[in-house]
Amino acid sequence: MSTFLTERENQIFRTGKDVHTINCSRPSLAGSVSQRACVFCGSRVVLYPIADALHLIHGPIGCAAYTWDIRGALSSGPEIHRLSFSTDLREKDVVFGGEKKLYHSLSELIDRYKPKAAFVYSTCIVGVIGDDLEAVCKKVSKEKGMPVIPVQAPGFNGSKKDGYKIACESLATLIGTGDLEVPKYSINILGDFNLAGELWMLLEYYKRMGIHVNATITGDGRVDAIRSAHKASLNVVQCSGSMMYLAKIMKEKYGVPFMKVSYFGLEDMSDALYEVAKFFKSDELMAKAREIVREEFTRMMPILKEYKEKLEGKKAAIYVGGSFKAISLIKALRLIGVKTVLVGSQTGTADEYEIIRELCDDDTIIVDDSNPIELSTFVKEKQADIFIGGVKERPIAYKIGIGFCDHNHERKEALAGYEGMLNFAKEIYATAMSPVWQFTK
């Protein structure tokens, strides 16, 4: 255990006590049972919400089962993405190769479902046996007259964050191939995956401002809109961990500028509207943004004040995929009287951890790429009342005997936007104040 802690010490930081820079973006320590997912999973969760595309996993059935419906991304139209297709590689395929099986599977699925494009994902076993995914995709693309994109993401080839980059590279092959016309005030939303219909709330805010949203990448995504994404005036990046690489590609290749925003919490949601209005240098857009913010704050603040009075003094632990999301959560929790005592992420950056350090009180624990033992120890040490995380953190919270709030991509409750802040406050209150926890002490 002492060796393990020594190797991890530079990835753990206590505000007000430690002075070192947190060591992030490094491979997970072997044997630490990291909460991170694999490369394949990273690529899958980014591309999966494109609703009119076919998604075929070339590998064992377990890989498809693991990532089926993993985003919970809702669609306003087609739902091909919710069907989890796999070539179901078996022992015979491992020995003799699976390219023929992939070709026939891909051809049959395209004929049956008539998608706008197809994404074909490699897995660990494909990386080992060496099937030529690119050649098969190229052949089928020529035969069917549609984009068939190989996603070279064998799981052992890094971490979830590397999968994000591979997904962005795959999307980049689509962008620039369409010619849809877009209005003057046009943006793309990158990195919102329409969990529980949140994207539709954001579209309504921008519509009220007079902003046209051209492509949503990838929540409720459409292949044709993505192909013409380069026509927009601005990329607005919500999940910087998954989509910043694509934003940089588009800036370099097409000159489309980008900005980072967050849609979680009243403060960050309002800033997201203001920053877009500032970019277009329009007094009319800014006036409409201010009107939206004024209306929403007038409606929300009296309700949130009541929650704050009841939750004052409660403590929360946060462990999420990206640290940019954690920043918004700290602000949102502060608004309802909840103190953050532990913050961690799987894919955080040094700059984002520095912002977290400045936001948090002294002796807050900040941790990068943690594992169940560490998280359990820190949560108990800080006596947190509620744990905010994803599906892999839920068992940790319940075993300790504290409340849990799902803020990852499996959730069914909209937590973004103004209405989402109200939902978040309700969930934190209902969870932290539940009488059931008295029986776990």
Q: What is the 3-state secondary structure (H, E, C) of the chain?
A: CHHHHHHHHHHEEECCCCCCCCCCCCCCCCCCCCCCCCHHHHHHHHHCCECCEEEEEECCHHHHHHHCCCCCECCCCCCHHHCCEECCCCHHHHHHCCHHHHHHHHHHHHHHHCCCEEEEEECHHHHHHCCCHHHHHHHHHHHHCCCEEEECCCCCCCCHHHHHHHHHHHHHHHCCCCCCCCCCCEEEEECCCCECCHHHHHHHHHHHHCCEEEEEECCCECHHHHHCHHHCCEEEECCHHHHHHHHHHHHHHHCCCEEECCCCCHHHHHHHHHHHHHHHCCHHHHHHHHHHHHHHHHHHHHHHHHHHHHHCCCEEEEEECCHHHHHHHHHHHHHCCCEEEEEEECCCCHHHHHHHHHHCCCCCEEEECCCHHHHHHHHHHHCCCEEEECCCCHHHHHHHCCEEEECCCCCCCCCCHHHHHHHHHHHHHHHHCCHHHHHCC
Q: Are residues 154 and 204 in the same domain?
A: no
Q: Residue 412 burial by CB count (10 A; 0-12/13-18/19+): exposed, middle or buried? A: exposed
State the pLDDT at residue 6: 74
Q: Are residues 155 and 249 in the same domain?
A: no
Of the chain, the end-to-end C-alpha distance in Å amounts to 28
Q: Are residues 44 and 148 in the same domain?
A: yes
Q: Are residues 326 and 387 in the same domain?
A: yes
Domain CATH number, residue 231: 3.40.50.1980
State how many domains the chain has. Answer: 3
State the pLDDT at residue 119: 97
Domain extent, residue 89, equals: 39-160
Looking at the domain assignment, is residue 3 inside a domain?
A: no
298 band by pLDDT with thresholds 50, 70 and 90? very high
Q: Are residues 147 and 237 in the same domain?
A: no
Looking at the domain assignment, is residue 305 inside a domain?
A: no
State the pLDDT at residue 68: 82
Q: Are residues 200 and 144 in the same domain?
A: no
Q: CA-CA distance, 360 to 3, in Å (whole number)?
A: 29
Determine the average pLDDT of the residues in 416-436: 94
Asked whether the predicted pLDDT for residue 306 surpasses 90, the reply is yes
Distances in Å between the alpha carbon of 102 and those of 110, 132, 136, 176?
Answer: 12, 10, 8, 28
State the pLDDT at residue 410: 73
Q: Are residues 286 and 324 in the same domain?
A: no
Looking at the domain assignment, is residue 135 inside a domain?
A: yes
State the pLDDT at residue 2: 40
Q: Residue 315 forms beta bridges with which residues? A: 339
Q: Are residues 152 and 53 in the same domain?
A: yes
324 band by pLDDT with thresholds 50, 70 and 90? confident
CA 267 and chain centroid, separation: 20
What is the pLDDT of the chain when averaged over all its residues? 92
Identify the sign of the CA torsion 146, 120, 176, 183: positive
Q: CA-CA distance, 333 to 36, in Å (whole number)?
A: 25
User: What per-residue string of b and e applies to 240-257 under the rule 16 or more CB within 10 Å gives b?
Assistant: bbbbbbbbebbeeeeebe
Q: Are residues 273 and 316 in the same domain?
A: no
Do 304 and 335 form a contact (C-beta atoms < 8 A)? Answer: yes
Domain-ending residue, one of 258, 290, 322: 290
340 band by pLDDT with thresholds 50, 70 and 90? very high
State the pLDDT at residue 33: 67
Looking at the domain assignment, is residue 33 inside a domain?
A: no
Asked whether the predicted pLDDT for residue 440 surpasses 90, the reply is no
5 band by pLDDT with thresholds 50, 70 and 90? low
Residue closest to 56 by CA, chosen among 133, 158, 128, 130: 133
pTM: 0.92
Q: Are residues 269 and 324 in the same domain?
A: no
Asked whether the predicted pLDDT for residue 28 surpasses 80, the reply is no
Looking at the domain assignment, is residue 307 inside a domain?
A: no
Q: Residue 120 forms beta bridges with which residues? A: 56, 150
Asked whether the predicted pLDDT for residue 4 surpasses 50, the reply is no
**Lowest mean pLDDT, pick from 16-30, 177-191, 300-314, 339-353:** 16-30
Looking at the domain assignment, is residue 432 inside a domain?
A: no
Looking at the domain assignment, is residue 382 inside a domain?
A: yes
Looking at the domain assignment, is residue 254 inside a domain?
A: yes
- Residue 150 has, within 13 A of its CA and on its CB side, a CA count of 19
